[in-house]
Amino acid sequence: MAIFKGAGVAIVTPFHEDGSVNYDKFAEIIEEQIAGGTDAIIVCGTTGESACMSEEEHVDVVKFCIERVNHRIPVVAGTGSNCTDTAVHLSKDAEEYGADGLLLVTPYYNKATQNGLYAHYKKVSDNVNIPMIVYNVPSRTGCNIAPDTAARMCKEIKNVVGIKEASGNISQVAKLMSLADGKVDLYSGNDDQIVPLLSLGGIGVISVLSNVAPKQTHDICQKFFDGDVAGSAKAQLDAIALIDALFCEVNPIPVKTAMNLMGKNVGPLRMPLSPMEPANVEKLKKAMKDYGIL
């Protein structure tokens, strides 16, 4: 059974002005997401600025999220690292705290071979018992999971159940699904490609857009599942200008800016991320107003 189906939010991590985690605000936005119909919460992913957290902070944020959600919807913990042993330790901690699943980005910077990628995920799998989603985002990691490797992992590694595909390469995704024999839970990692990936057999999205539009993102998926493909496609296309604005600078700069514009007060970014350029803030404001969320 899939960890979740539908729209899972790649949730931001709110910070105080001094850079420490704002747990009170984090609790607020978790509750807003659940009330808004989000199907799952993905904590400590790229959008959550996990790369700028210490290991202690990382596991504390994961633990807090799991406890706050309290089994109302699934919680998927981002536990990837470019160091396999670190990924193992983070994954074991997340399992101990009660995560419903794990999201593990490909080892970045190291640029592992396909055999190295397989061995990396196999070692993590050997140390945990909960489902794992592999995260393929070569634009950020410099490393691409080939379709045959992804299909092999989902077939052979006991708890690798799916992939978050953010390569942007629809042809690659189609090849993966042709090789998968129904053994891959496919999630879109790009908000502008939700419907195309659903049409290839996907079961949802791990979404940045959901931070500011949880119901709308959920509805893109649900309409498709309900057979209203035209309605799903329209909802996808209606969101394109906002999605473009949310990615006009590196994620999560725009989405945190958007949430602050909405009065959610999620605080600053951690360096080396920097405040959004003024011209892009104006572009973001216009897209948010046109979409009806500002």
Catalytic residue (choose from 25, 63, 164, 283): 164
Beta pairing, strands 40-43 & 132-136 = unpaired
Is 164 a residue of the active site? Answer: yes
Cross-strand partners of 205: 7, 188
Beta-carbon neighbour count of residue 16 at 10 Å? 13
Best CA proximity match to 102, nearest among 121, 117, 83: 121
Query: For residue 21, what is the DSSP state?
Result: B
- Tell me the C-alpha to C-alpha distance, in Å, between residue 280 and each of 13, 210, 253, 286: 22, 20, 11, 10
In whole angstroms, give the CA distance from residue 191 to residue 6.
Answer: 12
223 class by beta-carbon count within 10 Å (0-12 exposed, 13-18 middle, 19+ buried)? buried
Collapsing DSSP to helix, strand or coil, 139 comes out as helix
Catalytic residue (choose from 118, 135, 187, 291): 135
207 class by beta-carbon count within 10 Å (0-12 exposed, 13-18 middle, 19+ buried)? buried
Residue 50 · residue 82 · CB < 8 Å: no
Chain centroid to CA 282: 26
Catalytic positions are 135, 164
